[in-house]
Amino acid sequence: MDDPVLLTGAGGRVGRAILSGISGEYDWRLLDREPVSADALPAGVSEDDTVVADVTDEWQVREAVRDVGAVVHLAGDPRPNAPWDSVLRNNIDGTHAVFDAAAAAGVDRVVFASSNHAVGAYETDERTPDLYRTNDDYRLDGSELPRPSNLYGVSKAAGETLGRYFHDEYGLSVACVRIGNLTEDHPPREYERGQAMWLSHRDCAHLFGRCLEAEYDYEVVYGISNNDRRYYSLERAREVLGYDPQDNSADYTFEGEPKDAA
Ligand SMILES: NC(=O)C1=CN([C@@H]2O[C@H](COP(=O)(O)OP(=O)(O)OC[C@H]3O[C@@H](n4cnc5c(N)ncnc54)[C@H](O)[C@@H]3O)[C@@H](O)[C@H]2O)C=CC1
Ligand SMILES: O=C1O[C@H](COP(=O)(O)O)[C@@H](O)[C@H](O)[C@H]1O
> Is 117 near ligand 2, meaning CB less than 6 Å away?
yes
Q: Which domain holds residue 78?
A: 5-261
Bind-site residues for NAD(+): 90, 115, 152, 156
| ipTM given for this complex | 0.99
| Helix residue ranges per DSSP H, the chain | 13-22, 58-65, 84-86, 94-105, 151-170, 192-196, 201-213, 235-236
Distance 71 CA to ligand 1 centre (A): 15
Nearest residue by C-alpha to atom 19 in ligand 1:
12
Q: pLDDT of 226-256, one tens digit each?
A: 999 999 999 999 999 999 999 999 999 999 9
Q: CB burial class (10 A; 0-12, 13-18, 19+) of residue 46?
A: exposed
Atom of ligand 1 nearest to the CA of 56: 29
CB of 37 within 8 A of CB of 74?
no
Distance 202 CA to ligand 1 centre (A): 18
Spatial contact of 45 and 23, defined as CB atoms under 8 Å apart: yes
* Short-list 116, 74, 104, CA closest to 91: 74
Apex 249 CA angle, 245 and 252, nearest 5: 130
196 alpha carbon, closest ligand: 2
Confidence of residue 34 (pLDDT cuts 50, 70, 90): very high
User: Residue 236 belongs to a domain with what CATH number?
Assistant: 3.40.50.720
User: Is the confidence at residue 37, as pLDDT, over 60?
Assistant: yes
Total Cβ atoms within 10 A of residue 87: 25
Instruction: Say if CB 250 and CB 228 are below 8 A apart.
Output: yes
Tell me the sheet residues that pair with 34: none
Provide the number of structural domains found in the chain: 1
> What mean pLDDT value characterizes the chain?
96
How far does the centroid of ligand 2 lie from the alpha carbon of residue 126, in Å? 21
Percent of the chain whose predicted confidence (pLDDT) is above 90: 93
Active site residue 216: no
Residues with Cβ within 8 Å of 70's Cβ and at least 6 positions away in sequence, in order, are: 1, 3, 5, 6, 107, 108, 109, 110, 111, 212
pLDDT digits 0-9 by tens, 158-204:
999 999 999 999 999 999 999 999 999 999 999 999 999 999 999 99
> What confidence score (pLDDT) does residue 261 get?
67
Ligand 1 atom having least distance to the Cα of 94: 29
Residue 122: pLDDT over 80: yes
